[in-house]
A and B are shown apart, each in its own frame.
Chain A
Amino acid sequence: MGNEVVAIALSERDRCLAREAAKWATNTHQGVAITAAEAATEIGGSRPQGELRRIWNAALLNERLVAEASVERAAILGQLVK
């Protein structure tokens, strides 16, 4: 399979999370390179387009989940450590 590229537009809300999500997905999915620009993300790799899109969606959702849970996660850990 050749190199596939998928471009996905970013919502206003996701722009601040996209860069970190792109970095994380690139670092943890072999052969996938994601670049997050201001308004869109470009995902490249030698995988089918559907898989590249899935990797990106999961990474973006993960970034949201991690950000939204950070306070509660820290509180739970703090409680358990005590």
Chain B
Amino acid sequence: MTFVPMRARALGTQPKTLFVNDSGRFFAGSDAFVERLLQNEPSDAEFAFLRSEGHWLDDDDALGRAAHSRSVARRFTIAGPLDYLILVPTLRCNLSCSYCQVSRVNAEQQGFDWSEETLAAVLHCLDQLPAERIKIEFQGGEATLRPDLIRAVMERTSRFRERQFVICTNLQSIDDEVLAIFDCPEVFISTSLDGDSATHHRNRTHHSEKTDQFFYNLRFIVDRYGPRKVSALPTIDSSAPPAVDDIIDAYLEYGLDSIFLRPINYQGFARKRHKSSREQGAQWRAYYESFVRRIIERNWEDRDRVFEETYLSIGLRRIFRPGVERHVDLRNPNLAGHDYIVIDYDGTIYPTDEARMLARSGVVDLAIGTVQDGWDSETRTLLNQHATNQFDPDCQKCVYQPFCGRDIVDDLARYGRIGLPRHETEFCRRHMHLFDFIFELIYSDCPKIRYSIGRWLRLPTTPLAIGQIIP
């Protein structure tokens, strides 16, 4: 009899050790249990628990091993056909944010929009897609500076059974043409909201009229369509973060419940203007935890509204709902250029938006092809040879490997190489902290925490306990 492949890690503040097998099934054990395991003396009851939960198998249990293998396989991300495109019809923008990730150009500049040829190639590309559903995210620059290009793409996708469009916009200007696009029920609007008016002004707009215009437009679209059509993300300068309640209140004011708390991304202009954003230290982690704990409190105080921190919910789904979460920054293997691509303003194709940013910043060119000539390239093959955390020596020891992912573009952005020991990378430190924190919440006895976790996992009721424990 043996354990199925499994790993262990002490939980931070609780007297427990977490055990996770390769299929992602987990339990926590007391200090006494760990001592007994180290002495090879688990009790009969403990053996029975381990066996019944699929952590311990008899040598001749072929069915049990097959079941375990199948569960491990379910943890792998299977990249389907290409059905998610990030399109950059223009690089021009009418704002100049200090931490702009993509090295935008001024709104008046020429030569930074799709040409007629590029548009034709994009439309041809859409015609060739084998998928039945399509998700298209319009990025920029400011995509709404070219509503004609957005419309042309939308019109060309009428053959798909399901369509979803996300227009990423700074909401500085909404004319009738843009409004007609927003009116389409398949269109969703994604914008940036850094917190209260003063914070947004300082970080992004820099002019009172622009700040007022943004908040006026945000109110206008929320009133017109309801908050479900709108999502917003704050970017936080972790060296001077706003008060937690100020952010939550700003989102509450517009009926927005999901807050993706992101520190400044070490990309584009931020590489020069916010050099400290390369690594996020203890200060950011503490801020993040205080933010989540505050929304837990507020969810408990007001049961009519459930706030969530988006990335924490993604982490929870990675743990509890394998195969459901498709967030492309946290998956394993994270194949490049298969089920989603980015088409830049000049028709160049990148595996991720961050890869596009790196090329614009002159750090490294990770273009995998062009929309005219295709993207089944050597660069793509090379990137995909390193797309999994499965064989990394650090990840092989890490209890969170089944839930975690791999993002070599992030490594290249921060360190210019992908061969650093995992634990020395921001990606690893960030996710080690995230999962430590999630399991601390999972094993908390606090009813307020269990209430929020239940809502974030979309459970119908609040569970009495979320994780199993061997005393």
Contact = CB atoms under 8 A, between A and B. Distances in A.
Interface of A: 24, 27-30, 50-51, 53-55, 57-63, 65-66, 68-69, 72-73, 76-77, 79-80
Interface stretch (B32-40, B253-261, B290-298, B449-457): B32-40
A69 B9 contact: no
A62 B7 contact: yes
A76 B2 contact: no
Contacts, number: 80
Given A58-B34, A76-B22, A80-B69, A65 B15 contact: no
Nearest to A31: B282
A34 B89 CA distance: 53
Interface in B31-59: 31, 34-35, 37-38
B10 A76 contact: no
Interface string B394-437: 10111100000000000000000000010100000000100000
A76 B68 contact: yes
B138 interface: no
B73 A80 contact: yes
Per CB-CB distance, the 9 closest pairs between chain A and chain B, nearest first, are A69-B5, A58-B10, A73-B5, A62-B8, A27-B423, A58-B17, A54-B10, A55-B10, A58-B8
A70 B446 CA distance: 38
A61 B20 CA distance: 13
Contact of A80 (B4, B34, B72): B72
A68 B5 CA distance: 8
B31 A72 contact: no
Nearest to A20: B397
B8 A73 contact: no
A69 B3 CA distance: 8
Nearest to A26: B423
Contact of A50 (B5, B15, B69, B390): B15
A63 B9 CA distance: 10
A58 B390 contact: no
Contact of B8 (A65, A68, A76, A77): A65
Contacts of A63: 397
